[in-house]
Amino acid sequence: MIDNPRRVKDLIKNLAKGDSGKAQLLQRRYAMERFLERMAESEYRQNLVLKGGMLVTSMLDGRRACAFGRQLRLPLDA
């Protein structure tokens, strides 16, 4: 795990290779993954319910999943 915020920012900058949009997406994804990791280690982990918007968004290459979510119909008792 990387514990220095400056190092995280430098690594993201190197991965993005000058593309500020990609850097922003990588920063957002890193923050969300760290947040999810911290929640998974929390004493409240058994009391949390997460929705799948993050997964769907990542599957759609970072585009918003709102329209897709409205069209998707799944049985609730499955």
18 residue type, one letter:
G
What is the pLDDT of the chain when averaged over all its residues?
Answer: 75
Q: N- to C-terminal Cα distance for the chain?
A: 37
Higher pLDDT, 15 or 58: 15
How large a percentage of the chain has pLDDT more than 90? Answer: 1
Higher pLDDT, 3 or 25: 25
Whether the predicted pLDDT of 33 surpasses 50: yes
Q: Stretch 19-31: mean pLDDT, rounded?
A: 86
Strands (E), 14-60: none
In this prediction, residue 53 carries a pLDDT of 72
Residues 40-51: tens digit of each pLDDT: 899 988 888 777
What's the CA angle centered on 60, arms 58 and 66, to 5 degrees? 95
In the chain, where the domains are located: 1-45, 48-78
